[in-house]
Structures are given as C-alpha cells and as structure tokens.
Amino acid sequence: MSATLYVIPGSHPSMAARLMLERKGVDYKRRDLMPVISKGVVRAAGFPRNTVPALKLDGQKIQGSVRIARELDRLRPEPPLLPGDAERRSAVEAAEAWGDETLQSLTRRILWNGIKRDHSSIGTYGEGAKLGIPISVATKTAAPIIAAAVRFNKASDDNVRADLAALPGVLDRIDDWIEEGVLGGEDVNAADLQIGTSVRLLMTMQDIRPAIERRPAGELAMRVVPDFPGTIAPVFPAAWLEPLREAEPATSPS
Ligand SMILES: N[C@@H](CCC(=O)N[C@@H](CS)C(=O)NCC(=O)O)C(=O)O
C-alpha cells in the first residue's frame, strides 16, 4: 500500500488518522501543513474539500477521519476499528459521530481562542513537524494565521466561554460511555481514537487539564495518545473556568 497523509500538527482528527494507520500497520508518508495554508495545499493535491486529515491511498483520495476509518477497515480488516456485533457497532458509530461533529469543533474553538491569547504557544504544537520553515519563523509570522483560524472556527470569546461551561457535561458523557463499555475497551476502536484525541488535545491546555486528568475520560485520552505535542499556559479568565473547577473530581475519596 502506498499512503500519504496530509495533516496539521496539533490537529486532533489528524492525530486520530495517524493512529489508525499505525494500528493497521500501514506505512505512510506524512505531509505536515501550516493551518489555514493547508486549505489550499489540500485542494491543490486534488481533494474535494479543504480539511485535514486527507489520505492518498494507492491513488484513492480519502478525506475526513470517519471516512478514513471506514476505508481502512474495508481495505485492511485486521485489527478492526469497529466491533463485529451489530448493537455494539452502532453504539460505537454513534459515539464516533458525536466526536466528529460536536467534540472536535468545541475542542478547535477552545484551542484557537487559547492560542489567540498566547501566540507563542502555536510553535509548541509544531514540535517534531516538518513545515518547510523553522518553527521559530513560523511562530513569529503566525499572527494572520491565528486571526484567520479564530474566525473560521468561530472561536469567539462568547462561544468559548459557553464551551468551557459545557465541558463538564461533555466529559460526563464520555465517562458514561466508558462505564457502558462503548469506549475504553481492551481493543481501541474508532470512537476511542476520535474522542480520545480531542480530549488529549484539550489536556494540552494547562487551564483545562486539571478538570480532565483524573476522570476516566482523561485516562482514556492518555492511553490513546500518551504524547501529544503542544501546550498552552494558563490564559483564560478565572470566571470562565469556574464551571470546570466546580465539576473537578475531589483529590481523594471522601
Ligand atoms: N470532522 C472532520 C473535520 C476536519 C477539520 O476540520 N480539520 C481541521 C483541522 S483539525 C482543518 O483542516 N482545518 C483547516 C485549517 O485549520 O486551516 C474530520 O474529522 O476530518
């Protein structure tokens, strides 16, 4: 199989696609792209839409983390990314769809609002990436990219304050799926990869990590992606974080 995966460093669905290829044992070339600029590169490479992850596999163009998961399962069934049992499979697909449509966007909004507050953080997500220019140069010239990404992703202050308030409920939902065995089983499934990569990216933000790391969702994320490059120092107003602090699990059992 000849495979080239187009990614943005720090992109959670890109990380999910990388992990899918690794899990399937498919060797691939990785093309690291700068955010925003990626849109033109991906279109120029012949993909119908402008997002990453985008995969060229033996000449076939597959775009989107869910489609990549399905196509890899079709072409290389072992190890499967979906359970064989129909009922379990549809539960995993529902969790995966929520991860793709809801959790990914919430994560992107919080991330870009955090990067807007500390431009220097953008370079930390490029650790280990080959962008064609030194990370230090990319970081110094990133202001227009950050402004565009905040706009494209609707990462306004109002939206992100609401996202942070909604986060405890989002994490409860993931914890429930883990309890029910939809997520976090012995064999990593497509929804574990879809959701675990978003949660892990949220954990790179120092304001947010304490609200996640001692939850089952945090343990799942660390298991799925032990190392996710990047960090954002505390940047959000304390009032925005109150709902998270109130929902943090106690340090020791009472
Ligand atoms: N739900 C899609 C969304 C992909 C998506 O929106 N990717 C973002 C990166 S996380 C992107 O390509 N953004 C373009 C940009 O940042 O310029 C998937 O899972 O593939």
Angle at the Cα of 42 (from 37 to 43), degrees rounded to 5? 105
Distance CA 87, CA 17 (A): 24
CB atoms within 10 A of CB 21: 21
Residues with CB under 6 A from ligand 1: 8, 11-13, 35-36, 38-39, 51-53, 64-65, 100, 104, 108, 149
Ligand 1 nearest atom to the CA of residue 36, by list position:
17
Classify residue 249 by its DSSP letter.
Answer: P
Residue 132, pLDDT score: 86
Cα(108) to ligand 1 centroid in Å equals: 9
HSE (side-chain half, CA atoms, 13 Å) at 133: 10
pTM of the model: 0.96
Ligand 1 nearest atom to the CA of residue 16, by list position:
19
Distance CA 201, CA 99 (A): 13
Number of H helices, E strands in the chain: 12, 4
Cα(154) to ligand 1 centroid in Å equals: 13
Contact 193, 224 (CB under 8 A): yes
172 residue type, one letter: D
Distance CA 244, CA 208 (A): 8
Q: What Å distances lie between residue 207 and 28, 70, 109, 201, 219, CA to CA?
A: 35, 35, 15, 12, 18
Cα(55) to ligand 1 centroid in Å equals: 13
**At 45, which helix (H) or strand (E)?**
none
Measuring CA to CA, which residue among 201, 177, 180 is closest to residue 191?
Answer: 177
Residue 254, pLDDT score: 44
Distance CA 205, CA 212 (A): 11
Distance CA 105, CA 101 (A): 7
pLDDT 10s digit of each residue in the chain, 254 long?
A: 899 999 999 999 999 999 999 999 999 999 999 999 999 999 999 999 999 999 999 999 999 999 999 999 999 999 999 999 999 999 999 999 999 999 999 999 999 999 999 999 999 999 999 998 888 888 888 999 999 999 999 999 999 999 999 999 999 999 999 999 999 999 999 999 999 999 999 999 999 999 999 999 999 999 999 999 999 999 999 999 999 999 887 765 44
Q: Could you give the 3-state DSSP secondary structure of residue 62?
A: strand
